[in-house]
């Protein structure tokens, strides 16, 4: 079973892989076209990270664990003040990506 940051990393890496397939002129037009079609409905890195941030920001009484993470790498538990500052910074970055 995977954890949120692993799923986040896998989804981001899959998107990057599809982009490489789409741009590789040595591949057949069928494969490049399929990659293009899949990418039309695939979330961007910013969208995946923002979804993770939204899921992590749910109230504590909501008993659903996040599917995605706001980071594609593992971050051990941090002291509350560091966590709040980090979360605030990530939120600002996510908002700037969609402005």
State the DSSP string of 53-74: HHHHTS-TT--PPPSS-SSSS-
Give the closest residue to 46 by CA, choosing from 71, 73, 10: 71
Give the pLDDT mean for 14-27: 97
Average pLDDT of the chain, as a whole number:
84
Contacts of 64 (CB under 8 A, 6+ apart): 58
Q: Please report the pLDDT score of residue 91 as a whole number.
A: 75
Give the closest residue to 10 by CA, choosing from 18, 95, 33: 18
> Over the stretch 61-98, which tens digit does the pLDDT of each residue have?
777 788 888 888 876 655 555 566 667 777 777 777 76
């Amino acid at each position: 079973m995977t954890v949120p940051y692993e799923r986040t990393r896998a989804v981001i890496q899959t998107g990057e892989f599809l982009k490489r397939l789409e741009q590789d002129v040595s591949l057949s037009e069928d494969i490049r076209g399929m990659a293009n079609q899949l990418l039309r409905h695939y979330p961007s890195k910013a969208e995946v990270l923002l979804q993770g941030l939204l899921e992590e920001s749910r109230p504590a009484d909501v008993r659903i664990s996040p599917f995605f993470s706001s980071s594609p790498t593992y971050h051990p538990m941090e002291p509350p003040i560091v966590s709040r500052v980090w979360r605030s910074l990530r939120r600002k970055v996510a908002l700037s990506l969609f402005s």
